[in-house]
Amino acid sequence: MWWEKKPQSEFPKPGPTIAARPQIAKVEKPMPETIRRESMATTASSVQAVIGRSIILKGELSANEDLLIEGQFEGAVNLQDHCLTVGTNGKVKAEINARQVVILGSVNGNVSAREKIEVRRSGNVIGDLTAASVSIEEGAYFKGSIDILREGKGEEPRIVAAASAFDNE
Amino acid sequence: MSPIRTEGSRNKTRIPSAAPPSSPALEWLWKYLSDVRHPHFLDCGAVSPSTVRVLVKRRAKIYVADVISLLQRGDPAVWKTEGKKLVFNEEEFLRRLPRIPLASLTVICCWHLLDLIPRESRTHLAGSLFGLLEPGGVFFCILREPYLAAGVDTHWWFENHNTLGMGGAGQRNFPYPAVTNREVENLIAGASAKTFLTRSGRREVLILKGK
C-alpha cells in the first residue's frame, strides 16, 4: 500500500553529517570555599589564609600573611605586617594587632593597626581602636574609643590651631 | 532658615537644601578649643562617620557610647518599673559608657539627652557626667524649646566643623517638660552656661566646667 512505510535501511545513507556537540566535563564537586579564596588570592599575588565559618578557635594567633576570619576566635591576633579581615560571619573576641584591619563581622576587644581600621556597615565593634586612620561606615555599631596614631607621637606635638586644622574642609 | 542641617548620610530620605548655616555653638566651641592640641570627646549618640571624620581631623580622641538610643527606645536596661512609674536607672546608664578616666574629657556631646530623662534625674546625671570633664571642659547639649513637642527620636552629629546634622523622624513626643534656662544655670554649681538660640525650636547650650 502507498501509505505503508518503506523499510528503513539499518545504516544511514552517506551524506552531510552534523558534528556532535562537544561534551562539557561535569564538575562532580564544587571547589571548597576556603581553597577557592586562597587560589584567587594567590593569583593576585597575595595569599590570604581563612578561618572558615565552622571553625572555633581559642588562643594566640600570629601569622605572616593576610587572614580572613569567618568563624569564631577568642584570644589574641598578631599580624604585624598583614591585613586581618573579620568577615560578615566572623566573631572575634580578642586583642588585635595588625597592619590593617577590616571589620564586617563582630569584634569584642581592642584593635590596633599601624595603617588603617575600617568598620564596614555590617560591623559591630566593642573596644578601643588605635590606628593611623580609622573609618566607620554608616550603620555600623561601635562602642569604645578611637585614637589616631600620629607620626612621632612621642615627640612634642605640633601646635595646630583649630581654624587651620579645618582649612581644607 | 533652620541653623540645623536636616539632611545627612544617616537619614536615608535626604531633604535637599542649600548650604546649611553654621551652628553658633560649634563655632564658639572650636575657637574655645583652638589651643587644645589633643582634645578628648565623648559622643553619647550613635557612632557617626561624619562626626568621626570631623573629630579625627581635629586630632581628637573620641569615645563613643550610644546611650541615647537606650533612652529613645525605652530600653528596660535603663528604665526600672516601680509600681506604675518608669524610673530612670542612672547607675546602669553610666555603666554603659566606655571606661573613661575621671576629669579627662575636653567635651561631652550629650545632644538632647537632658530632654529624654525625668526632671528629677537631670541634676544628678549631669553631675556624674561633669565628673568626667577636665577643668575648663565643655558639656554640649541641645535643648528643645517648650513649644517643640516632638523629636525624641532625632539623632545628631557633626556634619562638618561648624554645622550640625540631624536625622530621624522626629515625630515622637517628648515625655518630660522642657529644660528651662534657669534649670541649666543651676544644673552644675560653679559652672557657666552659654546658650545659643536657634530658629528651629532648639537651644544649643554649652556648659563650662570651672577651671
Which superfamily does CATH assign the domain made up of B5-12+20-208 to? Answer: Vaccinia Virus protein VP39 (3.40.50.150)
Mean per-residue pLDDT over chain A, rounded = 75
pLDDT of residue B11: 42
Quick check: A62 contacting B, CB < 8 Å?
A: no
The region of weakest confidence among A31-45, A46-60, B163-177 is: A31-45
Q: What is the pLDDT of residues B44-75, one digit of tens each?
A: 999 999 999 999 999 899 999 989 998 888 88
pLDDT of residue B211: 79
Q: Residue A145 and residue B57: Cβ atoms within 8 Å?
A: no
Q: Residue A136 and residue B47: Cβ atoms within 8 Å?
A: yes
pLDDT band at A158 (very low <50, low <70, confident <90, very high): very low
pLDDT band at A10 (very low <50, low <70, confident <90, very high): very low
pLDDT band at B188 (very low <50, low <70, confident <90, very high): confident
The answer for B 49-78 residues in CB contact with A (under 8 A) is 49, 52, 56-59, 61-66
pLDDT band at A159 (very low <50, low <70, confident <90, very high): very low
pLDDT exceeds cutoff 50 at B7: no
Q: How many angstroms separate the Cα of A7 from the Cα of each of A1, A13, A14, A16? A: 13, 13, 17, 22
CB nearest A138 (choices: B9, B34, B98):
B9
- Judge whether A61 lies within some domain: no
pLDDT of residue B19: 53
Q: What is the pLDDT of residues B151-172, one digit of tens each?
A: 888 889 999 988 999 888 778 8
pLDDT of residue B2: 44
Summarize the confidence of residues A92-115 as an average pLDDT.
97
If one compares A24 and B123, the residue with the highest pLDDT of the two is B123
Summarize the confidence of residues A8-26 as an average pLDDT.
43
How many Cβ atoms sit within 10 Å of the Cβ of residue A122?
Answer: 16
Q: Residue A136 and residue B31: Cβ atoms within 8 Å?
A: no
Summarize the confidence of residues B73-97 as an average pLDDT.
87
pLDDT of residue B21: 62
Helix (H, G, I), strand (E, B) or coil at A124: strand
- Judge whether A129 lies within some domain: yes
pLDDT of residue B3: 44
Pair B44, B204: CB distance under 8 Å: no
- Judge whether A5 lies within some domain: no
pLDDT of residue A152: 58
Helix (H, G, I), strand (E, B) or coil at B14: coil
The region of weakest confidence among B9-18, B148-157, B163-172, B195-204 is: B9-18
pLDDT of residue B206: 96
- Judge whether A6 lies within some domain: no
Q: How far apart are CA B37 and CA A74, in angstroms?
A: 37
pLDDT of residue A14: 44
pLDDT band at A46 (very low <50, low <70, confident <90, very high): low
List the domain boundaries for chain B.
5-12+20-208
pLDDT of residue A31: 44
Mean per-residue pLDDT over chain B, rounded = 86
Domain count, chain A: 1
Which triple of cell numbers denotes residue A34? 576556603
pLDDT of residue A72: 97
Residue labelled with grid coordinates 540645623: B4
Residue A32 Cα, gap to closest chain B Cα (Å)? 36
Dihedral class, residue A16 (left if φ above 0, else alpha if ψ from -120 to 50, else beta):
beta
pLDDT exceeds cutoff 80 at B127: yes
- Judge whether A46 lies within some domain: no
- DSSP classification of residue B115: G
Q: Residue A146 and residue B59: Cβ atoms within 8 Å?
A: no
pLDDT of residue A157: 37
pLDDT exceeds cutoff 90 at A7: no
Q: Residue A134 and residue B56: Cβ atoms within 8 Å?
A: yes
- For residue A130, the chain B residue with the least C-alpha distance is B61
pLDDT exceeds cutoff 90 at B76: no
By the 10 Å C-beta count (0-12 exposed, 13-18 middle, 19+ buried), B54 is classed as buried
Q: Note down the domain range covering A158.
A: 77-169
